[in-house]
Amino acid sequence: MLNRNSGKRDFTAGGRLTSPAGRIHFPGELLLRSAALFSALIIFALFGFLAYFSLPLFIEGRLGELFSLHWRPFQGQFGILPMIVGTLLLALSALALAYPLGLGICLFIHGLGPALLARPLLLLVQGMTGIPTVVYGFVSVFLLVPLLRNLFAHGSGFSLLAALLTLALLILPTIVLLIHSQLGQVVPALRLTATALGIARERELLYISLPASSYGLLAAAILGFGRAVGDTLIALMVAGNAARIPDSAFDSIRTLTAHIALVVSTDSQSTTYQSLFAGGLILFLTTAAINLLLHRIKSRACPSGDGS
Amino acid sequence: MKKGILSVVVLGSLLLCATSLFAGELERFSGLQGKIDIAGGTAHIPVMNDAARAIMTANPDIVITVAGGGSGVGVQKVGEGLVEIGNSGRSVSAAEMEKYPTLKSFAFAVDGVTPVINPSNTVSGLTAVQIQDIFAGKITNWSQVGGADAEIHIYNRDEASGTRSVFWKKCLNKIAIVETANVVPSNGAMKTAVANDPQAIGYTSIGHVDASVKAVVLDGVAPTQENAINGSYPVVRKLYMNTNGEPAPLVQAFIDYVMGADGATSIAQHGFIPIK
């Protein structure tokens, strides 16, 4: 997404190559098309593969077994409901924390804060995108988890709270950079007019530019959520991985992604293993739904089909 | 320049010395060449690496790769013919044997699994029943087993773990482990978690125990290699190398090497007990 804006510029540059009148073809076009087709085929193959392997669970009417509350593979119970709940709880709470923060940072950068600090702050957030997930996880295990354990004296510290704090930090740059790029397009177009009308910069930002950036605002939320749902390592390292629905934020939870990572090396002939494909299918469909939703919002926001 | 030549000569003579020292065990590889791919159980990796390094140094015509993945992956990969040796920290299951009937197992080491707690914990010994009650969620405070008044934090392993499998069968007596227990994905992660949490209890391979965690005396028996060898410490498992059908000459030579004198030294060095 973040690349979209820079990508847009590239696209116009590429457009020069294909125009005039679209006759002259960019020499690598065939290559690019086949690459695109190949990637699309892989996605479909992936879906087919997941569906095929989880099909037995669906047609044998074992769905109830799957959507039950208990994961006790040795007693023949393969409920992945706690993991679905854990995933949603973690992703939503991380988003609820990171989104207002991200929005605040963007408004700060675009005029609510001193201009002198805007650039360093943006650079800092951009730098955060380059930090590998495992570093966040590692630092959390050694700093955040013991801190939470000592601070609240409830549970081991490996908890929903620890994971959501870490995950919020991880998805923050995604949110900031998306909103920032949208504001970057909207603000320059509106600021001059607003200033001419005598509207203060803060009011212009809050009442004109922000509402005009609704696509970016929504896209940031959706992609932030998607990133949170898809993340594996942070949940695996700091959420505790207890396969049950938590009573409080101090309880240990297990996400679907962490669940797959934990169980994937079991005996591959077992039902335990098969149930993973259902989990994978749910994750796949979730991200597919997120992308479709984004596409719909985009086409509604920009009916000309220009993209962002 | 002179210095360079000198160091080459010194290095060369050192290498020659090393080669002649190990020649006895490594002789079986002379004249052999080819590739051995190894995957599976993670407990096995240090021993496999030692053997691979020694063999490849002695005979550059042999290439050995070592990968992890876990016991399940090891069995599956060797069954499908993707690797020559698939390691497992448990015996091949009946279902796996049915799918890959030609699998052949070679047990080469015994590994003990011990309950571990934080070194700052005043508790030092527990009975198997107490441990079962802790993992079942019936005992929830360290004061109930003679420790400080603090909540017990249970750390468990994933279902794919061979370590979990032996601990659950031989120490926990197959009870249902409480669902609130944290789950960590490896022996290393278990050690990190227990070392950092004063209220923790978990379990790990005896080979992994060091100063950062405290091994719990179980029913009065200290979890040491000696006690595992003489049979007084009960929570033990075997480490296996598995091949699909009769091993090829090179693979057979590798297995013989691991089960020979050099292998035994390496196995003992990494905290396991060699099987003769």
ipTM of the complex: 0.75
Alpha carbon distance A242, B172 (integer Å): 18
pLDDT above 60 for A17: no
Q: Which residues of A touch B71 (CB under 8 A)?
A: 265
Which pLDDT belongs to residue A6? 41
User: For B29-109+239-274, which CATH superfamily applies?
Assistant: Periplasmic binding protein-like II (3.40.190.10)
Domain residue extents for chain B = 29-109+239-274, 112-236
Q: Confidence class of residue B4 from pLDDT cuts 50, 70 and 90?
A: low
Say which residue, A143 or A270, is predicted with more confidence: A143
Q: Confidence class of residue A25 from pLDDT cuts 50, 70 and 90?
A: low
What are the phi and psi torsion angles at B215 (to 5°)? -75, 135
Give the pLDDT confidence of B16-25 residue by residue, as tens digits: 444 445 557 8
CATH 1.10.3720.10 assigned to B112-236: no
> Please, how many CA atoms are within 13 Å of residue B40, restricted to the half-sphere of its CB?
32
Burial class (CB in 10 A: 0-12, 13-18, 19+), B221: middle
In Å, what is the CA distance from B135 to each residue of B157, B194, B198, B201, B226? 12, 15, 17, 9, 27
Domains annotated on chain A, with CATH: 63-301 (1.10.3720.10)
Inter-chain CB proximity B158 and A70 less than 8 Å? no
Q: How many residues does this entry show for chain B?
A: 276
Does residue B73 contact residue B158 with C-beta atoms inside 8 Å? no
- Cis peptide, bond prior to residue B115, ω within 30 of zero: no
Number of cross-chain residue pairs from A and B with Cβ atoms under 8 Å apart: 86
Inter-chain CB proximity B179 and A268 less than 8 Å? no
Average pLDDT of the residues in B200-224: 91
pLDDT above 70 for B12: no
Alpha carbon distance B239, B108 (integer Å): 6
Give the pLDDT confidence of A227-255 residue by residue, as tens digits: 999 899 999 999 999 988 999 999 999 99
Number of H helices, E strands in chain B: 10, 12
Neighbouring C-beta atoms of residue A237, cutoff 10 Å: 26
Decide if B29-109+239-274 and B112-236 have a common fold.
yes
Q: Write out the two tokens for A57.
A: 């669970």
Smallest Cβ–Cβ distance between A270 and the set B95, B180, B199 belongs to B95
Smallest Cβ–Cβ distance between A241 and the set B160, B182, B197 belongs to B182
Q: How many residues does this entry show for chain A?
A: 308
